[in-house]
Structure 1
Amino acid sequence: MRNLDPAQFQALIARADAVLLDVRLPEEIEIAALPGAVNIPLAELGARMGELNPEAPIAVLCHHGVRSEMAGRLLERNGFVDVSHLTGGIDVWSRVIDTRIPRY
Protein backbone atom coordinates (compact mmCIF):
# COMPACT_ATOMS: atom_id res chain seq x y z
CA MET A 1 0.00 0.00 0.00
CA ARG A 2 1.22 3.45 -0.87
CA ASN A 3 0.98 6.33 1.60
CA LEU A 4 0.12 9.42 -0.42
CA ASP A 5 0.34 13.10 0.37
CA PRO A 6 -2.59 15.30 -0.72
CA ALA A 7 -1.11 16.22 -4.12
CA GLN A 8 -0.35 12.59 -4.96
CA PHE A 9 -3.81 11.53 -3.78
CA GLN A 10 -5.42 14.26 -5.90
CA ALA A 11 -3.56 13.01 -8.98
CA LEU A 12 -4.63 9.43 -8.31
CA ILE A 13 -8.33 10.18 -7.85
CA ALA A 14 -8.31 12.24 -11.05
CA ARG A 15 -7.67 9.04 -13.00
CA ALA A 16 -10.76 7.64 -14.69
CA ASP A 17 -10.00 4.09 -13.54
CA ALA A 18 -9.41 4.93 -9.86
CA VAL A 19 -11.98 4.22 -7.16
CA LEU A 20 -12.18 6.69 -4.29
CA LEU A 21 -13.19 4.72 -1.20
CA ASP A 22 -14.24 6.65 1.91
CA VAL A 23 -14.27 4.40 4.98
CA ARG A 24 -15.77 6.95 7.38
CA LEU A 25 -19.21 6.72 8.96
CA PRO A 26 -22.21 8.24 7.15
CA GLU A 27 -22.52 11.00 9.75
CA GLU A 28 -18.92 12.03 9.00
CA ILE A 29 -19.66 12.06 5.27
CA GLU A 30 -22.51 14.50 5.96
CA ILE A 31 -20.01 16.94 7.46
CA ALA A 32 -17.26 16.71 4.85
CA ALA A 33 -16.98 14.62 1.70
CA LEU A 34 -15.20 14.36 -1.62
CA PRO A 35 -17.44 14.03 -4.68
CA GLY A 36 -17.64 10.65 -6.33
CA ALA A 37 -16.51 8.66 -3.31
CA VAL A 38 -17.87 5.20 -2.57
CA ASN A 39 -18.74 5.03 1.12
CA ILE A 40 -18.12 1.72 2.87
CA PRO A 41 -17.45 2.25 6.59
CA LEU A 42 -14.40 0.39 7.83
CA ALA A 43 -16.51 -1.86 10.08
CA GLU A 44 -18.45 -3.04 7.00
CA LEU A 45 -15.54 -3.38 4.58
CA GLY A 46 -14.86 -7.06 5.22
CA ALA A 47 -18.44 -7.96 4.32
CA ARG A 48 -18.73 -5.51 1.42
CA MET A 49 -15.38 -5.63 -0.37
CA GLY A 50 -17.04 -7.66 -3.11
CA GLU A 51 -18.55 -4.34 -4.24
CA LEU A 52 -15.05 -3.23 -5.29
CA ASN A 53 -12.92 -4.30 -8.25
CA PRO A 54 -9.69 -5.87 -6.91
CA GLU A 55 -7.87 -4.93 -10.13
CA ALA A 56 -8.77 -1.22 -10.03
CA PRO A 57 -6.61 1.39 -8.30
CA ILE A 58 -8.25 2.01 -4.93
CA ALA A 59 -7.65 5.34 -3.16
CA VAL A 60 -8.79 5.10 0.47
CA LEU A 61 -9.79 8.08 2.59
CA CYS A 62 -10.86 8.63 6.20
CA HIS A 63 -10.69 11.44 8.76
CA HIS A 64 -7.00 11.43 9.77
CA GLY A 65 -5.55 8.43 7.91
CA VAL A 66 -5.73 5.71 10.56
CA ARG A 67 -8.85 3.91 9.31
CA SER A 68 -7.84 4.30 5.67
CA GLU A 69 -4.51 2.63 6.38
CA MET A 70 -6.29 -0.22 8.16
CA ALA A 71 -8.72 -0.53 5.24
CA GLY A 72 -5.88 -0.57 2.74
CA ARG A 73 -4.11 -3.36 4.58
CA LEU A 74 -7.35 -5.36 4.71
CA LEU A 75 -7.87 -4.90 0.98
CA GLU A 76 -4.31 -5.99 0.22
CA ARG A 77 -4.69 -9.12 2.35
CA ASN A 78 -7.73 -9.94 0.25
CA GLY A 79 -6.09 -9.68 -3.16
CA PHE A 80 -6.43 -6.01 -4.07
CA VAL A 81 -3.34 -5.15 -6.06
CA ASP A 82 -3.21 -1.33 -6.25
CA VAL A 83 -4.15 0.30 -2.95
CA SER A 84 -3.21 3.76 -1.67
CA HIS A 85 -4.37 5.90 1.21
CA LEU A 86 -4.28 9.58 2.03
CA THR A 87 -1.89 10.22 4.90
CA GLY A 88 -3.65 12.71 7.18
CA GLY A 89 -7.08 11.99 5.72
CA ILE A 90 -9.72 14.50 4.75
CA ASP A 91 -8.44 16.74 7.52
CA VAL A 92 -5.18 17.40 5.67
CA TRP A 93 -7.07 17.54 2.36
CA SER A 94 -9.23 20.36 3.71
CA ARG A 95 -6.12 22.28 4.82
CA VAL A 96 -3.95 21.73 1.73
CA ILE A 97 -6.18 21.08 -1.31
CA ASP A 98 -9.69 22.43 -0.69
CA THR A 99 -10.26 24.77 2.24
CA ARG A 100 -14.01 24.84 1.48
CA ILE A 101 -14.31 21.36 2.95
CA PRO A 102 -15.12 21.74 6.66
CA ARG A 103 -12.74 20.41 9.27
CA TYR A 104 -14.20 18.51 12.20
Structure 2
Amino acid sequence: MNSINVQDFQMLLANQPVAILDIRDNTAFNEGHLSGSISMPTTSLPNRLNELDKETTYYVISHSGRRSDIIAQFLNNHGFDAMHVIGGMKAFRKEAA
Protein backbone atom coordinates (compact mmCIF):
# COMPACT_ATOMS: atom_id res chain seq x y z
CA MET A 1 0.00 0.00 0.00
CA ASN A 2 1.26 3.42 -0.90
CA SER A 3 1.16 5.81 2.03
CA ILE A 4 2.88 8.96 3.24
CA ASN A 5 3.23 10.27 6.77
CA VAL A 6 2.02 13.76 7.53
CA GLN A 7 5.52 15.20 8.00
CA ASP A 8 6.65 14.03 4.55
CA PHE A 9 3.34 15.17 3.08
CA GLN A 10 3.84 18.68 4.50
CA MET A 11 7.35 18.84 3.03
CA LEU A 12 5.99 17.69 -0.33
CA LEU A 13 3.29 20.38 -0.24
CA ALA A 14 5.89 23.04 0.52
CA ASN A 15 7.99 22.09 -2.51
CA GLN A 16 5.60 21.25 -5.32
CA PRO A 17 1.95 21.27 -6.33
CA VAL A 18 0.16 18.01 -5.60
CA ALA A 19 -3.33 16.64 -6.28
CA ILE A 20 -5.13 16.27 -2.95
CA LEU A 21 -8.31 14.23 -2.91
CA ASP A 22 -10.33 15.16 0.20
CA ILE A 23 -12.87 12.40 0.81
CA ARG A 24 -14.58 13.91 3.86
CA ASP A 25 -18.22 14.97 3.60
CA ASN A 26 -19.10 18.42 2.28
CA THR A 27 -19.68 19.88 5.75
CA ALA A 28 -16.20 18.89 6.96
CA PHE A 29 -14.63 20.06 3.71
CA ASN A 30 -16.36 23.45 3.95
CA GLU A 31 -15.23 23.85 7.57
CA GLY A 32 -11.62 23.70 6.40
CA HIS A 33 -9.48 21.97 3.82
CA LEU A 34 -6.06 22.16 2.23
CA SER A 35 -5.73 24.72 -0.52
CA GLY A 36 -6.42 23.26 -3.94
CA SER A 37 -8.02 20.08 -2.58
CA ILE A 38 -10.57 18.26 -4.70
CA SER A 39 -13.69 17.52 -2.69
CA MET A 40 -14.90 14.03 -3.48
CA PRO A 41 -16.82 12.56 -0.52
CA THR A 42 -16.47 8.82 -0.05
CA THR A 43 -20.13 8.21 -0.90
CA SER A 44 -19.85 9.90 -4.30
CA LEU A 45 -16.38 8.74 -5.29
CA PRO A 46 -17.26 5.47 -7.09
CA ASN A 47 -19.60 7.40 -9.41
CA ARG A 48 -17.00 10.12 -10.08
CA LEU A 49 -13.96 8.09 -11.13
CA ASN A 50 -14.29 9.53 -14.64
CA GLU A 51 -13.28 12.92 -13.17
CA LEU A 52 -9.87 11.57 -12.16
CA ASP A 53 -6.76 11.23 -14.32
CA LYS A 54 -4.82 7.96 -14.24
CA GLU A 55 -1.61 9.89 -14.99
CA THR A 56 -1.91 11.93 -11.77
CA THR A 57 -0.79 10.90 -8.28
CA TYR A 58 -3.58 11.63 -5.80
CA TYR A 59 -2.92 12.17 -2.11
CA VAL A 60 -6.07 10.93 -0.40
CA ILE A 61 -6.98 12.58 2.90
CA SER A 62 -9.83 11.96 5.32
CA HIS A 63 -10.45 13.05 8.90
CA SER A 64 -8.25 10.52 10.72
CA GLY A 65 -6.81 8.43 7.90
CA ARG A 66 -8.88 5.27 8.18
CA ARG A 67 -11.15 5.93 5.21
CA SER A 68 -8.34 7.40 3.12
CA ASP A 69 -6.43 4.13 3.47
CA ILE A 70 -9.42 2.18 2.14
CA ILE A 71 -10.13 4.66 -0.66
CA ALA A 72 -6.48 4.82 -1.74
CA GLN A 73 -6.50 1.02 -2.03
CA PHE A 74 -9.76 1.20 -4.01
CA LEU A 75 -8.26 3.76 -6.39
CA ASN A 76 -5.05 1.77 -6.82
CA ASN A 77 -7.14 -1.32 -7.62
CA HIS A 78 -8.89 0.70 -10.35
CA GLY A 79 -5.65 1.76 -12.03
CA PHE A 80 -5.07 5.11 -10.32
CA ASP A 81 -1.93 6.20 -8.48
CA ALA A 82 -3.13 7.04 -4.97
CA MET A 83 -1.25 7.73 -1.75
CA HIS A 84 -2.91 7.47 1.65
CA VAL A 85 -2.06 10.39 3.99
CA ILE A 86 -1.50 8.68 7.36
CA GLY A 87 -3.43 10.34 10.18
CA GLY A 88 -5.53 12.52 7.87
CA MET A 89 -6.53 16.11 8.55
CA LYS A 90 -6.42 15.48 12.28
CA ALA A 91 -2.68 14.70 12.15
CA PHE A 92 -2.05 17.44 9.58
CA ARG A 93 -3.59 20.09 11.82
CA LYS A 94 -1.77 18.78 14.89
CA GLU A 95 1.57 18.83 13.06
CA ALA A 96 0.93 22.34 11.69
CA ALA A 97 0.09 23.74 15.15
Q: Given the two structures, how large is their TM-score scaled by the length of structure 1?
A: 0.83
Change (3 A) 1:57 1:50: same
Counting aligned pairs with the same residue, the percent is 28
Q: Secondary structure at the match of 2:60?
A: strand
Gaps of 5+ in 2: none
Q: Secondary structure at the match of 1:83?
A: strand
Q: Given the two structures, how large is their TM-score scaled by the length of structure 2?
A: 0.89
Gaps of 5+ in 1: 100-104
**Amino acid in the other structure paired with 2:71:** A
For residues 28 and 86 of structure 1, the distance between their equivalents in structure 2, rounded to whole angstroms, comes to: 17
Contact 1:23 1:39 in 2 (8 A): yes
TM-fit CA distance, 1:9: 1.5
What root-mean-square deviation, in Å, do the aligned CA atoms of Structure 1 and Structure 2 show?
A: 1.4
Counterparts of 1:87-102 in structure 2, within 5 Å, are 87-97=86-96, 99=97
For residues 40 and 95 of structure 1, the distance between their equivalents in structure 2, rounded to whole angstroms, comes to: 23
